[in-house]
Amino acid sequence: MKDSMLEKLNPAQREAVATNSGPLLVLAGAGTGKTRVVTFRIARLISKGIKPPRILAVTFTNKAAGEMQERIGELIGKRDEDDVPEISTFHSLCVRILRRQIDKLGYPKTFTIYDSSDQDSVARRVLREVSVPTSSLQPRELLFHISQWKSKGIGPQKASSHAVTDKEHLAAACFRRYQGVLKTSAAVDFDDLLLLTEQLFASHQDARTAEAARFDHILVDEYQDTNATQYRIIKSLASAHRNLCVVGDDDQSIYGWRGAEVEHILRFRDDWKEAKVVRLEENYRSTDAILSLANRLIRYNKVRHDKTLRAARPGGEKPKIRQFPTEADEAKQVVADISRRIQDTHAEPNDFAILFRTNEQTRAFETELRSQDIPYVLIGGMSFFDRKEVRDMLAYFRLVVTPEDEPALMRVLNTPPRGIGDKAREALLHEAVKNSCPAWNVLPKVRQLPDFSSKAADSAVQFLELIKRYQAAFKKGSLVDTANQFIREIGYEQEIKRTNPDDVDAQESRWGAVQELVNALGEYEGKRKRPSMQKFLDSIALAGREMERDKDKQLKRNAVVLMTLHAAKGLEFPEVYMVGMEEGILPHHRSVNDGDNVDEERRLCYVGITRAQERLTLSFPLTRRKWGKARDTKPSRFLFELTGQADNPHAGPPAHHLKTAAGKKKTVSTGQSKAGHKKKTTAGSSKPAKKLVSKKLAKFPKKSSSKKRT
């Protein structure tokens, strides 16, 4: 990269990019060119003579990592696989460290990574073993507490001293056992990846220095979402050279529920006293009309760095607020609107994003998009890797790599059925617990267990032989060929046919998924220099739902994007639809009821609004079906805040204004005009604004917005 490229940046951005060494804090609002600064900075360091592998950039999602990699590639030209900066998520970074060092903590190097369903099965087992009825502590709750502790760096030994409620004490007691099961199963969960890395650094100075010495420069994106463990890992890695650049925005902190603490970004200079601070406050992404809504909304948050983003793009189309009778109508009209825009304007499907608070909301929109033949991508949600047949195959693969993996063993021990039933399975587990060894180690001895019939024992031994044979085979031959042979020998295709006797569609779809998985393995194998099943499984565990196969990529390149607000962080779209803007959804009722998390919901809303570049539509249905029954909804409080209608709830916006606005224009427009209306009619009503507005809005359901602007 040439220094002349710095001219493309504004002074603040240039300052951030051109700082060569020492700690640097970039406080960057939404759309101020954060990612650009990070990528330019990396490119510049390389041009100043830093070897690319000496640079570590940490991102929050795999998607962000991939995009950054691509942009840096554009800036510095394509390089050899071994001569690029390490750009990864916290979790991938920790996996790499642990694959090198975990034996120091007494784990085998072939550990597996458990996903939430594996965790769930461990939790259930633990609760049963200590005979805790699920009425006093549910597996979910246990996992929730464990995860909370782990994200604060609290291990099983320390947990009980942090427990307050009865459930927490119970959970703390189970925590030790849970961790024990994981260890004997040679497994780590997502939180362990971070926690164990931190523990490794704390207890093994040599490992810490060795890992820290790999890098000269560290950059962390989305720093506001860093939790205590992540913070300490970064501190360990950067403390020697102190070339640490963190970039973030406290207004976009939306992972508090996962242990993220905004304090880390607010108190950066406590630990890095000489840190330079650069603020980016000029927003290039959104029009002024959109940005002023966002600014108005976020001011309702009490605790924040006070800052106001300036819009570099004046004017713009006024954002719309729309309401519909039901959520089905909402989906229909939003999709119709998109379809119309694609036909009438130059807009392409990938100019649009539909953003949700919860994954469950996507269904209606998917159906609608499919029936309108508009291509779409659903980010997150139920993925290919959640399908039963895919999970089955992956369990077989996992077992080959890590036979101690108990959930994998339990999953496939009798899939397809080979006569090993509940009784035998219980006996196997019981024996494993008794000897505190992996269930796998019991398999050779099942003939001695009275609860194993000779038939079950025969099957178990045969199963053992099968896995052992393929352990050897996968080490020698090509992954794909071996996998195909493995699957044939398992007899999975016949099993699919047997369990779906009259449903050819289901048979094809299931078997197709198995073949897709093998294809993915093939693509992986073709791309890597040193492919291994273990690394393939790692990438699925870490990237999982975002892992796209090349074929999908082509297909979905130009598609409407459906995703949650959380998943939308860091992205931008010309046209954004935020749907389900109602109380109970955004803010989510769990955030309102269990604690004071409305501020985080407000930030979530803020993140959504600031994704939009040109055009923003907020909508909600007047009723929502839940468990088969339709229930009335209330518009989200954020709608009142961002339109300025919540400032004085007792004066409230006048009825006649809303009537005209909603009736004539068939849309409640937002923006500057509001102030005028509001002023001249404050005398109108003594009712709280919310009630009034919601009532008035309710009178004009299902009217599509007109083109009229204010």
Partner DNA sequence: GCACTGACCGTTTTT
Partner DNA sequence: CGGTCAGTGC
Which residues are annotated as catalytic? 34-35, 221-222, 252, 611
> Which tokens is 165 given?
């409620």
Residue 314 C-beta: closest distance to DNA, Å = 34
Closest CA to 45 of 24, 67, 66, 31: 24
Sheet holding 573-578, edge to edge: 376-378, 560-564, 352-356, 573-578, 612-621, 320-324, 668-669
Residue 628 C-beta: closest distance to DNA, Å = 3
Looking at beta carbons only, is 92 or 292 nearer to DNA? 92
> Which tokens is 300 given?
């309702």
Place of tokens 């209608």: 645
* Residue 195: φ, ψ to 5°: -60, -45
Looking at beta carbons only, is 134 or 672 nearer to DNA? 134
Query: Which residues have C-beta within 8 Å of that of residue 3, sequence separation ≥ 6?
Result: 44, 47
Interface residues with DNA (CB under 7 A)?
60-63, 89-92, 116, 190-191, 257-258, 357-360, 380, 414, 417-424, 453, 456, 499, 542, 544-546, 563-564, 566-567, 588, 590-591, 594, 597, 627-628
Residue 473 C-beta: closest distance to DNA, Å = 26
Looking at beta carbons only, is 420 or 561 nearer to DNA? 420
b/e 213-224 (16+ beta carbons within 10 angstroms → b):
eebbbbbbbbbb
Q: Are 218 and 243 in contact (CB under 8 A)?
A: yes
> Which tokens is 112 given?
């597996």
What is the 3-class SS of 45-90, one letter each residue? Answer: HHHCCCCHHHEEEEECCHHHHHHHHHHHHHHHCCCCCCCCCEEEEH
Looking at beta carbons only, is 374 or 427 nearer to DNA? 427
Looking at beta carbons only, is 591 or 667 nearer to DNA? 591
Please tell me the chain's helix, strand, coil percentages from 3-state DSSP, rounded to the nearest 5.
Answer: 55, 15, 30
Looking at beta carbons only, is 408 or 697 nearer to DNA? 408
Half-sphere exposure of 169 (CA within 13 A, CB side): 3
Q: Are 219 and 56 in contact (CB under 8 A)?
A: yes
Residue 379 C-beta: closest distance to DNA, Å = 8
Q: Are 615 and 390 in contact (CB under 8 A)?
A: no
- Cα 81 to chain center, whole Å? 27
Looking at beta carbons only, is 77 or 450 nearer to DNA? 450
How far apart (Å, rounded) are the C-alpha atoms in residues 413 and 420?
7
Strands (E), 587-709: 612-621, 623-626, 629-632, 668-669
Closest CA to 463 of 500, 424, 519, 436: 424
Query: Which residues have C-beta within 8 Å of that of residue 122, sequence separation ≥ 6?
Result: 114, 178, 181, 182, 185, 406, 407
Q: Where are the alpha helices (DSSP H) in 102-138?
A: 116-129
What 3-state DSSP class applies to 324?
strand
Residue 87 C-beta: closest distance to DNA, Å = 13
Query: For strand 629-632 and strand 623-626, is the pairing parallel, antiparallel, or unpaired?
Result: antiparallel
Residue 627 C-beta: closest distance to DNA, Å = 4
Q: Are 458 and 497 in contact (CB under 8 A)?
A: no
Looking at beta carbons only, is 23 or 621 nearer to DNA? 621
- Cα 654 to chain center, whole Å? 42
Q: How much is the CA Rg of the chain, to the nearest whole Å? A: 28
Residue 419 C-beta: closest distance to DNA, Å = 5
- Cα 168 to chain center, whole Å? 26
Looking at beta carbons only, is 393 or 585 nearer to DNA? 585
Looking at beta carbons only, is 417 or 444 nearer to DNA? 417
Residue 606 C-beta: closest distance to DNA, Å = 14
Q: How many CB atoms are located within 10 Å of the residue 501 CB? A: 9
How far apart (Å, rounded) are the C-alpha atoms in residues 156 and 559?
45
- Cα angle 383-386-391, degrees, rounded to a multiple of 5: 140
Looking at beta carbons only, is 91 or 208 nearer to DNA? 91
> Which tokens is 690 given?
């919310």
